[in-house]
Amino acid sequence: MANKEDMRRQVDSSRFTQQARVLRVLAHQSRLMIVDRLSRGECSVGDLHELVGGDLSTVSKHLALLRAHGVVEDRRERTTVYYRLLTPCVCNLFTCVTQVLKERGR
């Protein structure tokens, strides 16, 4: 273990900390768009870039984050990298959030 920072980040693996980590990774417009799209099938970085816009490197970083947290997986084919969802159940999560939004609306 390298330093104090790593300690602080890794040691606390309480239920809530873990949940918060996953939620943080998903709590971003672009990443939600990406996950939503991937839930309908594998996509290349280029496709996703076209989907969310902005700089390609930004998209790449969002993907790296999702990958680092085990939400997606990548596969290279020639010069193209394809991403796919590792946790299809995040779709239920979308449903839940939508429910919260509705419930809140009243």
Binding site for a second copy (CB under 8 A): 12, 14, 16-20, 22-24, 26-29, 31-33, 36, 69-71, 86-90, 92-94, 96-101, 103-104
**Total interface residues for DNA by CB under 7 A:** 29
Give the integer Cα–Cα distance in Å for 100 and 77. 40
Which one, of 40, 13, 14, 35, lies nearest residue 25 by Cα?
35
87 belongs to the binding site for DNA (CB under 7 A): no
**How is residue 42 written in tokens?**
């594998």
Part in contact with DNA (CB under 7 A); list of ranges 11-19, 22-30, 32-40, 91-99: 22-30
Give the integer Cα–Cα distance in Å for 72 and 42. 10
Amino acid at 23: L
Amino acid at 106: R
95 belongs to the binding site for DNA (CB under 7 A): no
Name the residue nearer to a second copy (CB basis): 24 or 61: 24
The single residue among 40, 76, 104, 106 that binds DNA, judged by CB under 7 A, is 76
